[in-house]
Structure 1
């Protein structure tokens, strides 16, 4: 009985999110835009992304407990210098275990990683951003290597906010990388609770003000996004990046699959290296 319930939920929950995705894209007129960008029928992308959701959901459940205790600052081996210090900020309802696969690849790229954590009940977006900023400010001040932020989903908005605050205090930031970040918010926040989660309401004053703040940042900034992201609706919120940002589309996959996809994680490491070398 329990096994049947688990399997049903495993199949059903991703299906519901892609039903909502399909309805939004088809009714909102974005289907032709998405198909034009991907060069393939949207049905193919949705099916493939649904399968990636089925694959990654068990991975998230299995790795989630690691985020409670296993993720602290990760450095290069003693005596080696790091290419850069990478500050990673996870998305809503996740924890630092989101960066498990990235850390495995980054370890071989001489990158020093700091994991910041937050939860939906920490307060408003502004309060959480300030809290994380205070946590990381002294580490950035003391850092000799270039500093690069990477944020997934809501973590991307936090990364941009914190990076701008650091630069305003003449502290160095070499770049910001966001993955699946909803720059205009998401309509799916109506199903969430908590002040931090509701900060992502679609076209809310907070996200629109942040969007304006992010225009023409004093550092290179890149958004990686999937055209079939099932957690950011409408997709327009993903690729309509602020002026001065670059957007790079990746293959069709669900919102969290990008955290486990080795080709993208390798690209992230390469982007960090490019940012650090350009500011060296």
Structure 2
């Protein structure tokens, strides 16, 4: 047995020993002589690959964004928005004054209207006389509707009024409650049982809350929203206070507005633009609700403050408020159909 053990040990000493493994060349070098595990090398390669793909995607997005921003239509929209912002700064102080209708406005005269615009008043006195209430947005006042108000009056609408609320308002529900009280006074003064509301930005959200949560559909025939953050805006994260929280995507207020409302009788028309710099993502200004009668109108290269100004919007609202049947078509002769529905 001792001889056999001696021979075996001799053979083992003479057998070639395996060479030490070389460290991997495609990953981080060993630390303190310890080899890097294979799964860490795989994670490192995956991270480098994802980083390269992210870099390419960012470059492609920047290229596409630059191409869009430098398109002639968008540049024209940016210029128009800048011009209107400058003009709005000048008209803002006048918007702080009370809005009082001229006496004798209940009478209807058509000699001041061009022939192409007299059809509404002649064919449908009720549509022409139904009050239209314009509600401004955040930190704004009625002056934002200067152009629209004149445009609607020129098209034959006899009662176009505005409502101011405090620029320091910090709750959509409070604004909606005040809107409801204003509508009741308007109904009492004019004798019309139902009115139309056009809301810009936050004003549209207050109108929607009044109609769907405070039984305002009994008093409101049509709500038109312009650049209203129906699904919230990511910019609201930078706005302090309760109002900023309410305007964030997925807020408790927006969840409340998304609740069922099968009995709502009010029609909604929502205008949104791919150049709206305050409602992001832009599509959040479109209104989607299974129980509401909604028409969404997409606009191209129209800024947030330009929405109440551009001719296409004023004409579209005139068409809408002239009267819509249940299918969305116009029933007033001589009025062009609403276009651009999505």
Same fold (TM over 0.5): yes
More helix by percentage: 1
1:65 paired residue number = 93
TM value normalised by structure 1:
0.75
Q: Provide the C-alpha distance between the structure 2 equivalents of 1:76 and 1:251, rounded to a whole number of angstroms.
A: 40
1:74–1:151 Cα change, 3 Å? farther
- Kept in 1, the 8 Å contact 2:106–2:158? The answer is no
1:232 paired residue number = 279
Q: Provide the C-alpha distance between the structure 2 equivalents of 1:77 and 1:232, rounded to a whole number of angstroms.
A: 37
Q: CA deviation at 1:178?
A: 0.7
CA deviation string 1:64-117 (max 9, x = no partner): 111111533468734226431111111111101111111111222223123122
- Kept in 1, the 8 Å contact 2:199–2:205? The answer is yes
- Which of the residues 79, 86, 105 maps onto 1:51? 79
| Counterpart check, 1:86 vs 2:132 | yes
- Kept in 2, the 8 Å contact 1:184–1:211? The answer is no
- Kept in 2, the 8 Å contact 1:120–1:196? The answer is no
- Which of the residues 68, 71, 74 maps onto 1:42? 68
1:111 paired residue number = 158
- Kept in 2, the 8 Å contact 1:230–1:254? The answer is yes
2:186 paired residue number = 139
Which one has the largest radius of gyration? 2
TM value normalised by structure 2:
0.62
| Counterpart check, 1:273 vs 2:299 | no
1:114–1:163 Cα change, 3 Å? farther
Q: Provide the C-alpha distance between the structure 2 equivalents of 1:257 and 1:191, rounded to a whole number of angstroms.
A: 23
Question: Aligned ranges for residues 9-24 of structure 1 at < 5 Å?
Answer: none
- Which of the residues 239, 247, 268 maps onto 1:192? 239
Q: Provide the C-alpha distance between the structure 2 equivalents of 1:124 and 1:270, rounded to a whole number of angstroms.
A: 32
Unaligned stretches of 5+ in structure 2? 1-56, 109-124, 333-342
- Which of the residues 158, 162, 174 maps onto 2:206? 158
- What is the alpha-carbon root mean square deviation over aligned residues? 3.3
- The secondary structure found in structure 2 opposite 1:245 is strand
Q: Provide the C-alpha distance between the structure 1 equivalents of 2:219 and 2:242, rounded to a whole number of angstroms.
A: 30
Question: Aligned ranges for residues 209-228 of structure 1 at < 5 Å?
Answer: 209-212=256-259, 217-228=264-275
- The secondary structure found in structure 2 opposite 1:148 is strand
| Counterpart check, 1:183 vs 2:209 | no
Q: Provide the C-alpha distance between the structure 2 equivalents of 1:170 and 1:159, rounded to a whole number of angstroms.
A: 10
Q: Provide the C-alpha distance between the structure 2 equivalents of 1:30 and 1:209, rounded to a whole number of angstroms.
A: 35
Q: Provide the C-alpha distance between the structure 1 equivalents of 2:313 and 2:97, rounded to a whole number of angstroms.
A: 26
- Kept in 2, the 8 Å contact 1:140–1:171? The answer is no
- Which of the residues 100, 122, 128 maps onto 2:169? 122
- Kept in 2, the 8 Å contact 1:148–1:173? The answer is yes
- Kept in 2, the 8 Å contact 1:71–1:97? The answer is no
1:145–1:266 Cα change, 3 Å? farther
Which deviates more, 219-228 or 170-179? 170-179
* Structure with bigger RCO (C-alpha 8 Å, 6+ apart): 1
Which deviates more, 116-125 or 56-65? 116-125
Q: CA deviation at 1:62?
A: 0.9
- The secondary structure found in structure 2 opposite 1:174 is strand
1:126–1:150 Cα change, 3 Å? same
1:254 paired residue number = 303
- Kept in 2, the 8 Å contact 1:222–1:246? The answer is yes
Which deviates more, 131-140 or 227-236? 131-140
